[in-house]
Amino acid sequence: MEKKKVYIAYTGGTIGMKPSDKGFVPQKGFLKDTLKSFPEFNHPDMPEITVHDYEEPIDSANMSPKDWHHIADDIEKNYQDYDGFVILHGTDTMAYTASALSFMLEGLQKPVIFTGSQIPLTQLRTDARDNLINSVYLAANYPIPEVSLFFHDHLHRGNRTLKTDADGFAAFSSPNMPPLASIGSTIKVREHLIWQRKHKELTVRHFNSPKIAILTLFPGISEELVRDYLNQDIDGVVLQSYGAGNAPVNNKPLMNAIRQATSQGKVIVNCTQCLKGSVNMSTYETGKILMDAGVTSGFDMTTEAALAKLYYLFSRGLDVESIRKNMVVSLRGELTN
C-alpha cells in the first residue's frame, strides 16, 4: 500500500526553537534536521513527511491577517500532493489563526491540524514530541476534513478553541464542544461531530481589510470611552459582555452609543466573557435591551471565532443586514444555536 503523505509547515513558535546564548531562538532548517533523528518517523505506521520551514519564522504574537493568507496559500499550493497538513504555530495566537483558516479554506476535504508546544522539541521534558507525532499520525490515518487544533491528547475543532493555560501542557480548551478526537491507548473519533461541507472543491477566501475591533465591558466603563471607541472608523465589533450577554443598561448614554453605532451600519456581535456557555439576550432585561439596540448574538462563539467570522463576511462584500444574518448561522461549526 502506498504511504500517505503529510505536509508539515513550520511557521514559527516554541516547538522548533534552538537553544542559544540568548535563550531559545528560531533557526531555519533546525526543525527538519531534528526530526531526521527521530526513530518514530521511520516507523512503518507513520506517513511520508515533508517539512517546510517558513523563510522568516513568525513569533505568533506578531501574527497578522497577511500571515493567515500566507499559510492558506501554502496549503492550497500543496493541496493535491498531500493527504493531510500539520501547521506548527506559536501557541499565543494559534486559536486566532485556526479560526481564521476555518473560514478561509472553503470546501476543505483534507485534515489541517494546528499544533505546537510549551517547551521546545529538543528539550528533555518537552510536550512537542507527543503533539507532533500524534498530529502527523491523525492527519495521515484519520482524514477529518476540518481545520483542527491538537494539543495534549485532544483534537479540537479549530474555531472552537481557546488558549486557557499559559504554562500547562493542556494549554487549549474547547469549552462549548467536545473534542473531535481523543488520544489514549486507543483513538476515539466522535464521528457525529465532524462538520459536513456542501462544497467539495478547495477555494481560498482571502480577507480584505475591514476594520474589526474587540470591546470588553467592565464595571465602571464610561460612556465617553464607549462612544469614542465606536465613533471610530470601524466596521465590526466583538462586544465581550457579562454572563449570558448582559450589559449595564442603566447607563443610558452608553446604551445610546451602542444603538447609534448599529444604526450607522456597524455590526456589533455579543460574545460572553465566560469561558463556557452561550449568549441569550432574551433571558434578562440587561440582554434584551442590547438586542433592541441592534446588537447581534454571538451565541457560544469564542471571541477568536467571532473576530475571524467578521473578517470573512465583510471580505465577501455582503451588505450589513446579510452579515448580521450570517453571524447567527453556523458556517463552519463555530457556534451552536
Return the C-alpha cell found at 179. Answer: 473534542
Highest mean pLDDT among 30-39, 164-173, 304-313: 304-313
Contacts of 291 (CB under 8 A, 6+ apart): 281, 282, 297
Q: What is the mean pLDDT of the chain?
A: 92
Establish whether 14 is a catalytic residue: yes
pLDDT at res. 140? 96
Query: 121 pLDDT exceeds 90?
Result: no
Mean pLDDT, residues 129-137 taken together: 94
Q: DSSP secondary-structure letter at 13?
A: S
Answer with the residue of higher pLDDT: 4 or 120: 4
Return the C-alpha cell found at 89. Answer: 504555530
In terms of Cβ atoms closer than 10 Å to its own Cβ (0-12, 13-18, 19+), residue 282 is: exposed
**Sign of the torsion formed by the C-alpha atoms of 77, 82, 86 and 88:** negative
Answer with the residue of higher pLDDT: 246 or 138: 138
Establish whether 50 is a catalytic residue: no
Q: Give the start-end residues of each E strand in the chain.
A: 5-10, 17-20, 23-26, 48-53, 84-88, 105-106, 112-115, 147-151, 154-157, 162-163, 172-173, 181-183, 187-189, 203-204, 212-216, 236-241, 267-272, 296-297
Confidence band for 281, pLDDT divided at 50, 70 and 90: confident
Domains 5-204 and 212-327 share a fold: yes
Q: What is the DSSP string of 229-263?
A: HHTSS-SEEEEEEBTTTB--TT-HHHHHHHHHHHH
Residue 60 marked ligand-binding? yes
Q: What is the DSSP string of 137-197?
A: HHHHHS---SEEEEETTEEEEGGG-EE--SSSS--EE-TTS--SEEESSSEEE-GGGSPPP
Residue 91 marked ligand-binding? yes
Q: Which amino acid is at 42?
A: N
Domain 5-204: assigned CATH number: 3.40.50.1170
pLDDT in tens, 316-330: 999 999 999 999 999
Query: 286 pLDDT exceeds 70?
Result: no
Neighbours of 72 (CB within 10 A): 23
Confidence band for 249, pLDDT divided at 50, 70 and 90: confident
pLDDT at res. 37? 78
pLDDT at res. 322? 97
pLDDT at res. 40? 86
Of 34, 50, 91, 283, the catalytic one is 91
Lowest mean pLDDT among 95-109, 130-144, 189-203: 189-203
Q: Domain 212-327: which topology?
A: Rossmann fold (3.40.50)
Rounded to 10 degrees, the C-alpha dihedral 126/129/135/141 comes to -150
Confidence band for 57, pLDDT divided at 50, 70 and 90: confident
Return the C-alpha cell found at 266. Answer: 456597524
Per-domain residue ranges of the chain:
5-204, 212-327
Distance of CA 71 to the CA centre of its chain: 13
Mean pLDDT, residues 215-224 taken together: 93
Residue 203 marked ligand-binding? no
Q: Which amino acid is at 41?
A: F
Contacts of 323 (CB under 8 A, 6+ apart): 236, 267, 310, 313, 314
pLDDT at res. 113? 98
Percent of the chain with pLDDT over 90: 73
